[in-house]
Amino acid sequence: MSGRRGDDCPVTASVADSPDGPWRAVQRVVIPNGAPGEWDQYSIHDPYPLVYRGKIYLYYKSDLHAAPFLVRLHGLATADEPLGPFTKHPLNPIMNSGHETTLFPFRAGIAAFAIHNGLEHNTIQYASDGVSFKIAAVSSLMPVAAGPYVPDAFTDTQDGRGITWGLCHITAVGAPHQRHSILARFDCDLSRDLHDPRMKQTDLYLKPEAYFSQGLNPSQLEQRAKAAREAPRDMPQARPPNP
């Protein structure tokens, strides 16, 4: 790790004969950061492998560190073996929006979540070739850092069935000075084998407290109070309407 931030590091791996371990680190980089000036030079996050078209398609995200806002994009690297060598796709970055990677086989292609960051955030995208992603649907309350249950993730299917549930994480839980994360289950109808009309509704109604909980922080309140105090006293006042 670089020491600048906890996840500014390339992708490596550990191996085991059982999900219960013991796990052994391979002690080498599997997917390196990009060279200086390339889009993924700073970090590679959330490596997400699927078996597709006879190869391992490993999707990942990176940060452009473009001021004044963080820009996150998605890339793809392919290999014949889990430990590589991986070849980064020449069309990288293949998605211009999103945060954590969440993908799954659907029909003959790959579907993906694009949450949080970018102009195409809160969309579900689809690529019939696993590369050329386009917006397929707009959604809301999308799970963060979703790890869906994908039965056909590694079967090299050409008839992906989709997903209905998975796990995600919710951050900033607790007091401001002692925040932590929790795991949560999410449910959805993104499956060809399920039909739940209620999960396809586009209107989302939240209780008032959900809106009011997003109020201004103390710094923002002081900024506005200061602007009010410094406003010219002789500014023309709006006239009341004629009776």
217, part of any domain: no
Per-residue pLDDT tens digits for 6-34: 556 788 899 999 999 999 999 999 999 99
Q: Report pLDDT digits (tens) over 76-121.
A: 999 999 999 999 999 999 999 988 899 999 999 999 999 988 889 9
Single pTM value for the model: 0.85
Can you give the pLDDT at residue 199? 87
In a domain, 76, yes or no: yes
Q: Is 57 a domain residue?
A: yes
Query: Where do the H-state alpha helices sit in the chain?
Result: 208-212, 218-230
Domain count, the chain: 1
The whole-number average pLDDT for the span 60-75 is 80
CATH code, domain carrying 108 = 2.115.10.20
Would you say residue 215 lies in a domain?
Answer: no
Across the range 174-179, mean pLDDT stands at 77
Tallying the residues shown for the chain, one arrives at: 243
Q: Which of 85-94, 118-127, 165-174 has the lowest mean pLDDT?
A: 165-174
One DSSP character per residue, 139-199 reads -SSPPTT-EE--TTTTTT-SSEEEEEEEEEEEEEES-TTS-EEEEEEEEEEEETT---GGG
Amino acid at 151: P
